[in-house]
Amino acid sequence: MVFATFLTPLFILKYNDDIKNGDLTEMTYKNLKALSNFLPAYIFNVESFMEKSRNVKKLLGEVDICFSVKSNPWLIEYADVFSKVEVCSPGELEICINKGIAPERIIMGGICQTAENFQKAVEYGVKRYSIESERQLDLLRNACFNAAFEAAVLLRLSNKNQFGMSKEQAREIFSKQAELTNIIIDGIHFYPGTGRMKKITLTKDFDYLISMLDELDSFKIRCLEIGSGVGVDLFGESDNHDLIAIVSEYLKILKNKYEVTYEGGRIFAAECGIYIAEIKEIRKNDDRIYYIVNGGKHQFSYYGQMFSSGKPTVTVISKTPFDKTMTVNIVGALCNEGDVLVKEIELPEAREGDFLVFHKVGAYSVTEGISLFLSRDLPSVIIERECEFYLQREKTEIHKLNMRRGKERRIGGI
């Protein structure tokens, strides 16, 4: 079992023997104590995000990279190493505009587009679009026509799911290129799926893409925007370099023919984030020990954690050095039996007022926690009573919750 402690800077946790040094634990505890009014909290380490992104770019063979805003909108201000950012909803576009992301760096896509979405993007000057259907193409074309604007379009090929279009539909659009005013069909977009942990899945995805590209070979395809959803070991310490190596091999082949951009989120951001909550109560019911924290399962999610398929790394930050370890259950503040953050995990014996740090929540957790994902509006809530509908809550804009408003405020430090 590994314990961890904070080294400088505070939020980079290092797994080594330093943890056995009680002084370091105590120092960390004091620093966290000063933050306790702000807990539970997500903390994203900017340096770690930047370094990871640079390293992955290197491992991918120095291909251009594109950061998916959906994985963590709070990091886009620090995405300098990415030549582009991928935007998939009106809310995400608003965040980019607010954060001054240049329109030339944005590629806009997404499954459910409206005329207004495209109009807004065109007004902002976004030039590149991933288009999933003929309908989307018409909407974009209208928006461009009205604004006397020219857009570059990548046709998104489907991986046999609801996203994108078939190669036949792509072929049809390619062959109409000459009639398309205000639109240049510039290439292909392909994103097969997320959380890929198996080499064979990646290989199949790329082989499928290549077979489709071969069939479209008679058309002018200048660039490719590809994701492969390389997964991250969220519950262990193994790296994913073997998976990245496979992607890199394919990218090398594709780079011979196309201008390639690699698009992703988790692979860059997962490891830079932690979630911290305070243990408010320790309870023993029968022979089970519960650490009750002032957070909850609704505030963070690990890929697959919902099905108890793995245990995240959790660090106890305590006032005093630990005597022993024990098997505990970490539960949250929701009045819900299912609000179990981690089931039966071996942790140091903590005290009330100690802190728990959950690792690798840099991607998705902050938005995927049930209600804030993708910065789309919250749905309205309607009651049906005696064949009448009663509105309980209007559709509610939430994108403002996913960005800082005004100047940042320093709340502590090491």
Ligand X SMILES: Cc1ncc(COP(=O)(O)O)c(C=O)c1O
Distance CA 56, CA 59 (A): 5
| 291's tokens | 């650490």
Pick from 127, 176, 171, 175: which is nearest to 152 by CA? 127
- Minimum distance of ligand X from residue 24's CB (angstroms): 33
- Minimum distance of ligand X from residue 363's CB (angstroms): 6
Name the residue nearer to ligand X (CB basis): 131 or 279. 131
Pick from 127, 90, 125, 128: which is nearest to 110 by CA? 90
Name the residue nearer to ligand X (CB basis): 177 or 371. 371
- Looking only at the bridges linking them, the beta strands covering 106-108 and 84-87 are parallel
- Minimum distance of ligand X from residue 208's CB (angstroms): 16
Name the residue nearer to ligand X (CB basis): 264 or 369. 264
Neighbours of 150 (CB within 10 A): 12
Name the residue nearer to ligand X (CB basis): 117 or 194. 194
Q: Where are the beta strands (DSSP E) in 286-339?
A: 288-293, 314-317, 325-331
Given the structure tokens 């990279």, which residue do they identify? 65
| 315's tokens | 């660090």
Sign of torsion, CA 50 197 72 409? negative
- Minimum distance of ligand X from residue 174's CB (angstroms): 21
Torsion of CA 312, 6, 269, 395, to 10 degrees: 80
- Minimum distance of ligand X from residue 150's CB (angstroms): 24
Pick from 28, 3, 1, 6: which is nearest to 17 by CA? 3
Name the residue nearer to ligand X (CB basis): 68 or 313. 68
Name the residue nearer to ligand X (CB basis): 265 or 296. 265
Question: Residues 262, 82, 299, CA angle at the centre, nearest 5°?
Answer: 90
Peptide bond into 40 cis (omega under 30): yes
- Minimum distance of ligand X from residue 391's CB (angstroms): 31
Burial 42-52 (b: 16+ CB within 10 A, else e): bbbbeebbbeb
Name the residue nearer to ligand X (CB basis): 56 or 276. 56
Which residues of this protein are in contact with ligand X, per CB under 6 A? 68, 70-71, 86, 191, 194, 227, 229, 263-267, 363
Torsion of CA 269, 159, 220, 230, to 10 degrees: 20
- Minimum distance of ligand X from residue 242's CB (angstroms): 17
Given the structure tokens 């690699």, which residue do they identify? 262
- Minimum distance of ligand X from residue 266's CB (angstroms): 3
Name the residue nearer to ligand X (CB basis): 191 or 291. 191
Name the residue nearer to ligand X (CB basis): 139 or 269. 269
Name the residue nearer to ligand X (CB basis): 32 or 121. 121
What size, in residues, is the chain?
A: 414
| 17's tokens | 């023997």
| 355's tokens | 């802190």
- Minimum distance of ligand X from residue 191's CB (angstroms): 4
Q: Running DSSP on this structure, what letter comes out for residue 198?
A: -
Residue nearest to ligand X (CB): 265
- Looking only at the bridges linking them, the beta strands covering 5-6 and 13-14 are antiparallel
- Minimum distance of ligand X from residue 189's CB (angstroms): 8
